[in-house]
Structure 1
Amino acid sequence: MTRWRQQSGDPLTLDRILRWNLAIWIPFGLLPLLIAVHDASPARTYGMFGLFALIALCHGVVLARPDSPVLPPRAYLAVLALVLGATSFILTGGAAFYVVSLPQFWLFARGPREATTLSGAAAALTVFGGTIEQGWSPDLLTGNTVSTVIAYALGTALGLWLYRFIGQSNERQEQLSAELALTQEELAAAHQRQGAAEERERLAREIHDTLAQGFASIVVLAEAARAATVTDPERCAQQLTSIERTARENLAEARVLVGAAPESGVAPGSLATTLRRTLDRFVQDTGLTVDAELPDIELDQHTRVALLRCTQESLANVRKHADATTVGVLLTEAPGSVELEITDDGRGFVVEESHGFGLDGMRRRLAELGGELTVTSSLGDGTRILATLPTQRQE
C-alpha cells in the first residue's frame, strides 16, 4: 500500500479505490461464501464463519491503520492467501473468491514483486485447497484450477501494466512540475526585471521633472545674474535669490527621491495656489506675461502632482524653446474630469517630429492616472498643451 500511495501521489484517490474495492468484495466475495456454506456440515459452517470473521477483522485493521506494525499490509495479504486456501478446501473450490480478492494483492502490496509473489501463493493455495480431498488428476485441469490460473495470469499482467502506467504518469507529472517551477521562476524574474525597469523609468521621469528642470533654471538664472552684475545690481540680487530658492527646492526633491523625506511636490490644499506660486516664479525669472485662470478645485494628491509636473515641464519648454512673449494657463473642471490648458505664442514646432523625454514623460504620468495629453502646435503658431485627468475625491 505504501508503494501505491507513492505511485498514485494522491492518498484520497487510493482511499477511494479501496472503498470501491470493499464495496465489491463484500457482496460478491464474502456474502456468496456464507450462502454457499449454509448447507454444509456444522464444522465446515462454523469454520467458514470463523474465516469470515478473521479476514473481516484483519481487513478493517489494515484499512484503518495501514502503517501499523501489529498487522502490516504484507501480513494481511499472507492471512488472505491462507483464508483463500482454506475457503477453497471447505467449499471444494474457491476460484470466484480468489478472483474477487485478487485486486487486494496489488492494492496492499509494497511493490509489483511482492504483489506477484503473494497473489501467486494465494493462487497455489486456492488450487491446492480445492484438490486436497480429491487428489490430483488431469480431470481437475478444468473449473476451479483453470479459472484460478487464468485469473492469476491476467491479474499479474494487468497489475504490472498499471504499475508501469502509473510510474510513467508520475514521471511525466514530475517533469511537468519541474517545468512549471522553472516557468514560475522565470516569470518571477521577468516581473522583477519589469518592476526594476518601471522604477528606473519613474525615477528618470521624476528627476527630469524636478532636479533637471531646477538645475536648468539655475544655469539660466546664473548666466543672467552674471550679465547683470554691473548693469543692474538689483536684478542680479533677485536672480541670485531665485537661484538659492531653486537650489533649496532641488535639495528637498533629492531627499524625496532617495527616501530621506516624505513625499512632497504639492502640499495638500488647492492646486490653484501652488500653480500661482509656480507662475509667479516663472514671471519673475523670465519677464514673460502670463494670463492665468485658476479656480480653486479640490483634487486628490496624485492629480495635483501630475498637473503641477505638466505645468512645470510646459513652462520649462517655453523658456528653452518657444521664444514666446505671452503664456496662458487655464484650469477648468468638467463633470468627472479636470483640464489644464497651457498655451504660448512662441515659434511652435512639428508635433510628429518631437520625441523629447519631457512630452513622453507627461503622457506616461497622465496615463498612469487614466488621463491623456493632447499637444497642438505648428511652426509659427505657438503651442497648446491640454492635460485631462479624471477627478477623484479629495484625499
Structure 2
Amino acid sequence: MTALAGAASDAFWTTTLRRWNAVCWLLFAVMAVGLAAIDRPGGSKYAALALLGAVVVSYAVLYRFPANPVVRPDVYLSVLVVALGGLAYLRGNYAALFMVTLPHYWMFGRTPRVSMVFLGLATAATLAGSVLRDGGWTVEFFTETLVSTLLVVAVGALIGLWAHSVVAQSAERARLLAELEETQAELTEAHQRQGAADERERIARDIHDTLAQGFASIIVLAEAARTGLDTDPARSGRQLRSIESTARENLTEARELVGSGLRPGQVAAGSVARTLRRTLDRFAEDTGLTVDAELEDLECDQQTRIALLRCTQESLANVRKHARASTVGVVLARLPYGVELEITDDGAGFSVEESSGFGLDGMRKRLAELGGRLTVTSSVGDGTRVLALIPLGASA
C-alpha cells in the first residue's frame, strides 16, 4: 500500500511539473512572438529577444545532453536569472514570467540549498531590474512590486521545499523497496539452494537405507555362500536363495523409488511388529545369530512404521558388518510418552564420539523429522545399545 502511494505521489508531481514547464515555455513563445510581430523596432526589442533566445538555447542544450558534465543545470539557471533581470529592466509587467519559472529552480537545483540560492538570485535580479527601469525606489515599487514578489517567492519556496521533501521520501521508499526486493530474491535463492540440499540429503538417506543395505547384504551372503560351497552345500543353497530374495526386494525398492519420485519405499499398513519380525527372522537366518525379540503389537502411522523399520535395518546392518556379536536383542514398546525401539548386541562395541558413519546420522535426522530422537550407547568391548523414541504425536 505504501509503495502504491509513493508511486502515485511521484506520478502526480511529475505530471504537475511537466504541465507547469509547458506553461512556462508557452509563455516564453508568446512573448517571443509578441516581441517579433507586435513590438516596435528598437534596441530593447532585440535585447529582449536575445535574452529569450539565450534561455531557450541553454535549456535545449541541457535537455539534449543531460549526462554531459560540462552542460550543468547551474548554467541554465544562471542564464535564467540573468534573463529575468534583463527582461524586468527592458520590459514591464514580467511578474507572470517570474512566477511560471519558479518550478525550474526546484527541477534543476541539485539540492534544496542550491534551489533556494538561485531563487533568491532570480528574485533579486527581477527586483533590481524593476528598480532600474522605474528610476529608483518608489512608493509604488514598495507597495505593489516588492510585496507581491516576496509573497510569490515565499509561497513558491514553501511549495518547492514541500515537493522536494515528498520526492525525497518517494526516492527513499523506492530505494528501500529495491533493497527489499533484492533481499527477497536472495532469500528465495537461499531457500531454493537449501531445499535442493535437503532433497539431495533425503534421497541419499533413502538410497542408503534401502538399496545400499540390500547390496551390502548380498555381498556378505555371496561371500559366505562361496566359502561354504564345498563344506556345507545346503547352507550355501539357503544363502543363495537369500541373495535372490534380497536382490528381488532391492529391485522392488528401486522401482518404487523411481516410480514415486524418489520417495521412500512403502511399508505395509497394520502392525509394525509383524514387519519387524519378518526382518529379524531374515537376519537370523542369514547370519546365524541369536535374536531375542519382544515386539508389542501396536498400530502406528506410515511414517512412524518406516522410521522404525529403517532404524532396525540400519542397526542390524551395523551388527552384521562391525559388531562381531552372538546375540541381538530387540524390544518394541508403547510407553506413555511415545513409541520406543531398543536394539542391543553383545558385540565389540565402538566409541560413539569417534563415529562418523552416514547410517547413525541418517537415523537421527529421520527421527528428528517426526519429533523423535536417537540415543546410542556403546564402548569398546561392551556391546552397543540403540534407543529410538518417537513421541505419541507422531504415531496413530
Give the structure-1-normalised TM-score. Answer: 0.65
Query: Hey, what's the Cα distance between the residues in 1 that align with 2:191 and 2:177?
Result: 21
How far 1:146 moved relative to its partner? 4.2
Please tell me whether the aligned partners of residues 333 and 340 of structure 2 are also in contact (alpha carbons under 8 angstroms). yes
Please tell me whether the aligned partners of residues 271 and 297 of structure 1 are also in contact (alpha carbons under 8 angstroms). yes
The aligned residue for residue 47 of structure 2 is: none
Q: How do 1:300-379 and structure 2 match up within 5 A?
A: 300-379=301-380
How far 1:353 moved relative to its partner? 1.4
Please tell me whether the aligned partners of residues 283 and 316 of structure 2 are also in contact (alpha carbons under 8 angstroms). yes
Runs of 5+ consecutive residues of structure 2 not aligned to the other structure: 25-99, 108-114, 116-136
User: Is 1:166 matched up with 2:166?
Assistant: yes
The aligned residue for residue 9 of structure 1 is: 6
Question: SS of the counterpart of 2:259?
Answer: coil
Please tell me whether the aligned partners of residues 10 and 167 of structure 2 are also in contact (alpha carbons under 8 angstroms). no
| Cα deviations by residue, 1:208-252 (Å, 9 ceiling, x for unpaired) | 111111100000111111122232222122111111111111112
Query: Hey, what's the Cα distance between the residues in 2 that align with 1:258 and 1:143?
Result: 94
Q: How do 1:247-326 and structure 2 match up within 5 A?
A: 247-260=247-260, 264-326=265-327
The aligned residue for residue 199 of structure 2 is: 199
| Cα deviations by residue, 1:182-220 (Å, 9 ceiling, x for unpaired) | 222111111111111111111111111111111000001
Query: Hey, what's the Cα distance between the residues in 1 that align with 2:188 and 2:235?
Result: 57
The amino acid across from 1:283 in the alignment is: A
Please tell me whether the aligned partners of residues 349 and 378 of structure 1 are also in contact (alpha carbons under 8 angstroms). yes
The change in CA–CA distance for 1:339 and 1:8 in structure 2 (over 3 A counts) is: closer
The change in CA–CA distance for 1:258 and 1:165 in structure 2 (over 3 A counts) is: same
Please tell me whether the aligned partners of residues 307 and 366 of structure 2 are also in contact (alpha carbons under 8 angstroms). yes
Please tell me whether the aligned partners of residues 306 and 365 of structure 1 are also in contact (alpha carbons under 8 angstroms). yes
Query: Hey, what's the Cα distance between the residues in 2 that align with 1:202 and 1:330?
Result: 27
How far 1:356 moved relative to its partner? 1.1
Query: Hey, what's the Cα distance between the residues in 1 that align with 2:286 and 2:256?
Result: 25
Runs of 5+ consecutive residues of structure 1 not aligned to the other structure: 1-5, 18-65, 79-104, 117-136
| Cα deviations by residue, 1:327-351 (Å, 9 ceiling, x for unpaired) | 1000111113010000011111111
**CA-atom RMSD in angstroms:** 3.9
| Cα deviations by residue, 1:46-89 (Å, 9 ceiling, x for unpaired) | xxxxxxxxxxxxxxxxxxxx99xxxx987xx99xxxxxxxxxxx
Q: How do 1:131-170 and structure 2 match up within 5 A?
A: 138-142=138-142, 145-170=145-170
Please tell me whether the aligned partners of residues 8 and 170 of structure 1 are also in contact (alpha carbons under 8 angstroms). no
Please tell me whether the aligned partners of residues 8 and 14 of structure 1 are also in contact (alpha carbons under 8 angstroms). no
Query: Hey, what's the Cα distance between the residues in 2 that align with 1:242 and 1:110?
Result: 92
Please tell me whether the aligned partners of residues 289 and 327 of structure 2 are also in contact (alpha carbons under 8 angstroms). yes
Query: Hey, what's the Cα distance between the residues in 2 that align with 1:7 and 1:154?
Result: 31
Q: How many residues align?
A: 295
Q: How do 1:205-244 and structure 2 match up within 5 A?
A: 205-244=205-244
How far 1:266 moved relative to its partner? 1.4
How far 1:141 moved relative to its partner? 4.0
Query: Hey, what's the Cα distance between the residues in 1 that align with 2:366 and 2:179?
Result: 38
Please tell me whether the aligned partners of residues 304 and 395 of structure 2 are also in contact (alpha carbons under 8 angstroms). no
The change in CA–CA distance for 1:10 and 1:185 in structure 2 (over 3 A counts) is: closer
